Every structure is written in C-alpha cells, then in structure tokens.
Amino acid sequence: NCVVIKPSEVSVASEKLIRDHLNKYIPADCFPVVCGGPAETSSLLKQRFDYIFFTGATNIGRIVMKAAAEHITPVTLELGGKSPTFVDASSDMQLVANRVIANKAFNAGQACISYDYIMCTKETQERLIEPMKKAIERFFGEDMQESESFSRIINDRHFDRLDSIKRSSKGRLVIDNGADKSDLYMGLAVIADVDASDSCMQEEIFGPILPLVPVKNLQEAIDMINEREKPLAAYVFSKDSSVIREFEENTTSGAIVVNDSS
C-alpha cells in the first residue's frame, strides 16, 4: 500500500519533523509527505484516492467528506468534540482531581480526548475544587508557568480564542493559573457554575480551561450528553456500579472511560 501523508500546517514543528525525517526510513515514492495549507489540502482532495483517513476539527471533516463523495471514496473521520465527564458524589474527590488535572494538563488541554467539561451536583462541585488545587500544586509546583512539565498553546490565534472563551464566561473562576501571551502560556483554569449557554459550552475548548456544570442528578447529565453531538470520549467517576452501568447504557460515544483518565 502507498500513503500520501498531509500533516497539519498548524503544528509547524511536527510538520517539519515528519517532512525532514520520515523518508529517511521509508521510501518517499510510497509514503510522500505533502506540506502546506488549505490550497495544498484542496488539491489533494481532488485526487481519486482509495481511502481517506482524516483526524481534526468537525468543520474540516465536513469538507473532506464532501470532497470524498465526488469519487465515492470511503472515509474515516476521527473528529474532536466536547468530551463530557460525570462525577458522582460517591467518588474519591482527590483521586478524581488527580486524574482530571493529569488529563486536562496533558499538552495544555490540546488533545482530542481531553475532558471538555465536568458535570456534577453543586455539592460535589464544591467538594472537588480544593482537591484540584492540591493536584495542580503537586504536579506543577507553585508557579505553573515555570514548570518544565506544562506545555504552551500552539499559536497566537488559538491563544486569543481560548482567552476569549475564558474572559466571556459567565461562570465563577475558582482556579486561575494566569496567562502570558508573549510566552503562549495559559495556565489551567477551572470555571464553576457554568450553564449550557455559556461561552465555554459552544465549541470544543481544546485548551486548559475546565468548566464545571452543575446538574441535579445523573439523568440530567445523561440528557445533556444526548442533546449534543456524539462525543469522541465520555468519562464517568463513581464507586456505585449502578451509576456506571446507567451511564454506559444510556449514552453514546467513541469510548467510555470509567474512573480513570485517557
């Protein structure tokens, strides 16, 4: 089989790495690497491929699928989305906090299966905040910006997008580790008392901002998940097997993770 590889032009360093090194180990005539932006991608999509595999944003996925339809080319789309998490009151809050922070801090939240928002009761929300503060300090020290273990935002455009989401939220900012555009640093921020109409809930965050969305019970959380587009992953924390079973049987997602991070 031969594969044409088109890395994202947004991830400049990764694109360069693939371009410069891949064909040192596998032949370029079978595995060519095409670099560039929308123009190069559009040109590629006009070709008659046997199969197209795309991973990325939903809006670009629609463009890929439309182009593939011209040649009736089969497609696999691995798209992002708002991956939800439900935290049941029976959970060990420090354990939840440790796993939530580890997941959300990975690559500064720039991962397709990162927790996008957490649903729990108001009481559980308040029980979770202090353990998350402890987890952040344990993993990254007193100054997250100085930590060698915390990544930076990919570029200015995404920094501005995240900054706008954070600033326009009507929720309560309960954890804020600051931001510095000159360093493309945006520390972990947790926003409590977020509702479905908030700026945090309109698109995949893809960054280190974590909304806490109060719900009355598990059923309300399930209803909220099912009202939205199907997520790439869904997470549930509980010591109660009946809660886990109900979550698994009544939601649909690419994967379900129980009492753990991805």
SS3 at position 176: strand
Active site residue 30: no
Kindly give the pairing relationship between strand 179-180 and strand 185-186: antiparallel
Active site residue 204: no
CA distance 255 to 262: 10
Tokens, residue 143: 């100054």
Strand partners, 190: 175, 210
Tokens, residue 139: 């993993």
Catalytic residue, candidates 112, 120, 200, 204: 112
Yes or no: say if 86 and 217 are a contact pair by the CB < 8 Å rule.
no
- 10 Å Cβ neighbour count for 173? 13
Catalytic residue, candidates 9, 40, 78, 137: 78
SS3 at position 46: coil
Taking alpha carbons only, the member of 170, 207, 177 closest to residue 191 is 170
3-state SS, 184-238, equals CEECCEEEECCCCCCHHHCCCCCCCEEEEEECCCHHHHHHHHHHCCCCCCEEEEC
Q: Which residues are catalytic?
A: 78, 112
